[in-house]
Chains A and B, each alone.
Chain A
Amino acid sequence: MGMAADTIEQKIDYKEISCQSCGSNLLVEPQMLTAICPYCASPSIIQRPPSENLPTPTFTIGFVVTQDRAIEAVSSWIGRSSVFAKSAFRKAAPELTRGVYLPAYLYNAVANSDYRADIGENYTETETYTTTDSNGKTVTRTRTVVKTEWRSLQGQHCCYILDVVVTASKGVTNEALEAVEPFDLRALRRFTPAMISGWLAEEPSRTQDECFQFAHGEALDKVGSQLKGFMPGDSYRNLQYETDVARESIDLVLFPIWSLAVRYDESKPPLQILVNGQTGRVGGKVPISPVKVSIAVGMVLLILVVGALLFGMAR
């Protein structure tokens, strides 16, 4: 373990700043916007000129959930976890690592799509069929059946794509962030350094291009689901669409996240659990115990076999 930690440290390009309160020199992780002096506890804010991939945040959402509430939320979340979770995990106590303002981009756009689909319009028809009646005679009868006529439709669709959030931090994937979304965007505040003072705050560690690509992908998915609801007729198939996005806007937002570690196995890295610092929603992947799952499957099989045997004997 010690060896591994050393090798990682060598790669990090620490920034050196001096505390404006006590004058001591501090080493700060390169992607951090804030630091707390270990000698005098003063909260420092590091401001640097914005660049293309490191824009100044436009908005922040402040922390509402306190540290105690975050730990409580995770404890009860672990308690509610699946019975198939590893026993050690269900007994583990969450360790707080940090409350951090996570950088993410807020994306908005207007989508104009050309679509093409086959629309199914139902109609009923009366058809005759032959069958044998109760006396074994062949008879001809009629029945009404629903049939579908397929008509091709092409058209245009325009809509808004609002409030797509994509992570800008390499430390948190989009899936992990989605697990604790949504944030209430009505609580957005204009970013000022005072909002992050005394807290950890990260700079974007993903490029704006990468985030743009991701937001774009999510926007197309949203258009797809809107188009599904847009189709007339009783059913549709072969829906294809091409989308142009216009009026795109992207803003860097700092979202409040509590990041907790759950150590349930000495030989494995701790599990990362995120808590939405605004709503308290918990997100993380529960480690499933293969032993428990196999036992459960074994039990079910056993019951089935016993049941089958009993059934066979009874006959």
Chain B
Amino acid sequence: MSDATSNTAEAEADPTDCSACGTPLESGDLRCAICGKSAPVRRYDLGTTQVVKILRCTGCGAAVAYDPKKQAPSCSFCDSVVEIETLEDPMEQTGGYLTFTVTPEDAKAQLQRWLSSLGWFRPSDLSSTARVQELKPLWWVAWVFDADARVSWAADSNQGGRRSAWAPHAGTTEFVFDDILASASRGLSAAEVGVLASGYDLMTARPDPEGAENATIEQFDVQRSQARKQVSKALNEMAHNRVQQSEIPGTKFRKLQVSLVLQNLVTRRLSFPAYVMAYRYKGQLYRLVISGQDKTLMSGNAPYSQVKIIGVVGAVVAVLAFILLLIALAQ
């Protein structure tokens, strides 16, 4: 069927940008995910005169009709189905791996420094836990996006208040979002991502994972449509934060509303290198994460020995009591 072949040709053609808002369309998009504009299509030639035709099955020549049970046009005789271009919603795939520039030795040295910084309050049996001292390389996943946003906002602020403590304010501004990272990682917490995010060089992205052996490679486990929702949500949060920081006058605000329109939203899917040391101690998970590109960026927590802390507090109290006693005796 000629229609079927022309559809395949379109699917293979390079995705273009949305003609209305400049957001790139991806293969399998029928419409722009941001503004809803339909994707351009090379129309099959309709000619200039009216044509009456019967679509026939390429296999057996019987007429083809749409079948709601198969939700596709199908041949009533031989049951074969005609493929129609539908909205595709594939799982997200990483578009590149940033290389490790921190060597395992550097990371290990960093880990030792961190362990010793915990000092004496660490439980004494901690170092015998096998997983401590072992750093594992990991590539975690995130979306990185650029966008130009026109942001309108309205809020109450304490500036300009008369009888009421609040006065209404509103404004419009343009924000440029450049290389904003939105985590897609299930493994790392938001706080950990917050620490690591700033220290990566996006130019080091390679098609294959490089620079680490036996690394854990995290996958995006969401579909494209869900990913777009998460990116939109991240964008909205960013806009909210920026309005709070730089737009609203006064020192206090309430009832902030933000509405934004985007242009040129470009999203990349990338895998980011990190070293992770994770272990359980008495049923609780503890973890240290070091950036794979900047060893000074790290985030971690460790158990404290309650016995030792109580011991020290007890000792301090005892010493204070002893001193007080001495003073009392001296008088």
- Residue A123 at the chain B interface, CB threshold 8 Å: yes
Q: Which residue, of A43, A46, A125, A231, has the highest number of chain B Cβ atoms within 10 A?
A: A43
Which of B61-69, B120-128, B198-206 makes up part of the contact surface?
B61-69
Contact with A along B288-330 (1 / 0, CB 8 A): 0000000000000000000000000000000000000000000
Q: With a CB–CB cut-off of 8 A, which chain B residues contact A259?
A: none
Given contacts A153-B170, A159-B261, A188-B87, contact A247 B35 (CB under 8 A): yes
* Docked pose: A66 CA to B1 CA in angstroms: 26
A197 near B55 (CB under 8 angstroms)?
yes
Given contacts A192-B84, A232-B257, contact A251 B38 (CB under 8 A): yes
Q: With a CB–CB cut-off of 8 A, which chain A residues contact B150?
A: 158
Q: With a CB–CB cut-off of 8 A, which chain A residues contact B31?
A: 188
Given contacts A197-B63, A197-B65, contact A62 B72 (CB under 8 A): yes
Q: How large is the interface on A (under 10, 10 to 19, 20 to 34, 35 or more residues)?
A: 35 or more
- Residue B113 at the chain A interface, CB threshold 8 Å: no
A195 near B257 (CB under 8 angstroms)?
no
Q: Which A1-37 residues have a C-beta within 8 angstroms of B?
A: 17-21, 35
Which of A47-55, A81-89, A209-217, A286-294 makes up part of the contact surface?
A47-55
A233 near B72 (CB under 8 angstroms)?
no
Given contacts A44-B52, A155-B154, A233-B166, contact A195 B261 (CB under 8 A): no
A194 near B168 (CB under 8 angstroms)?
no
A194 near B73 (CB under 8 angstroms)?
yes
A20 near B53 (CB under 8 angstroms)?
yes
Give B156's nearest chain A residue, CB to CB: A232
A121 contact from B65, B168, B259, B260, Cβ within 8 A: B168
Which of B43-51, B177-185, B212-220 makes up part of the contact surface?
B43-51
A18 near B55 (CB under 8 angstroms)?
no
- Residue A119 at the chain B interface, CB threshold 8 Å: yes
A232 near B255 (CB under 8 angstroms)?
yes
* Docked pose: A226 CA to B154 CA in angstroms: 12
A197 near B86 (CB under 8 angstroms)?
no
* Docked pose: A83 CA to B142 CA in angstroms: 57
* Docked pose: A194 CA to B73 CA in angstroms: 6
A50 near B46 (CB under 8 angstroms)?
yes
Q: Which residue, of B52, B73, B151, has the highest number of chain A Cβ atoms within 10 A?
A: B52
Given contacts A49-B49, A58-B38, A62-B68, contact A190 B168 (CB under 8 A): no
A48 near B51 (CB under 8 angstroms)?
yes
- Residue B71 at the chain A interface, CB threshold 8 Å: yes
Contact with A along B249-272 (1 / 0, CB 8 A): 000001111011100000000000
Q: With a CB–CB cut-off of 8 A, which chain B residues contact A19?
A: 54
Given contacts A59-B30, A226-B259, contact A110 B35 (CB under 8 A): yes
Q: Which residue, of A155, A196, A251, has the highest number of chain B Cβ atoms within 10 A?
A: A155
B257 near A230 (CB under 8 angstroms)?
yes
Interface size of B by CB at 8 A reads 65
B20 near A249 (CB under 8 angstroms)?
yes
- Residue A307 at the chain B interface, CB threshold 8 Å: no
Given contacts A44-B53, A50-B46, A63-B66, contact A231 B261 (CB under 8 A): no
Give B160's nearest chain A residue, CB to CB: A151
- Residue B222 at the chain A interface, CB threshold 8 Å: no
- Residue A163 at the chain B interface, CB threshold 8 Å: yes
* Docked pose: A48 CA to B52 CA in angstroms: 9
A45 near B53 (CB under 8 angstroms)?
yes
Q: With a CB–CB cut-off of 8 A, which chain A residues contact B166?
A: 121, 233
- Residue A229 at the chain B interface, CB threshold 8 Å: yes
- Residue B167 at the chain A interface, CB threshold 8 Å: yes
- Residue B221 at the chain A interface, CB threshold 8 Å: no
* Docked pose: A35 CA to B53 CA in angstroms: 10
Q: Which residue, of A45, A153, A192, A231, has the highest number of chain B Cβ atoms within 10 A?
A: A192
Q: With a CB–CB cut-off of 8 A, which chain B residues contact A304?
A: none
Q: Which A177-222 residues have a C-beta within 8 angstroms of B?
A: 186-190, 192-199
A197 near B73 (CB under 8 angstroms)?
yes
Question: Can you list the 5 inter-chain pairs with the closest CB atoms, starting with the nearest?
Answer: A198-B65, A155-B170, A108-B36, A121-B164, A194-B73
A sample of 11 inter-chain contacts (CB < 8 A) reads A48-B51, A59-B30, A62-B68, A63-B71, A154-B170, A159-B261, A160-B261, A193-B53, A197-B66, A198-B65, A277-B68
Residues of B within 8 A of A (CB): 1, 3, 7, 20-21, 30-31, 34-38, 41, 43, 46-55, 63-66, 68-69, 71-73, 82, 84-87, 89, 150-152, 154-156, 161-172, 225, 254-257, 259-261
Residues of A within 8 A of B (CB): 17-21, 35, 42-50, 56, 58-59, 62-66, 106, 108, 110, 119, 121-123, 125, 147, 149, 151, 153-160, 162-163, 186-190, 192-199, 226, 229-233, 247, 249, 251, 277
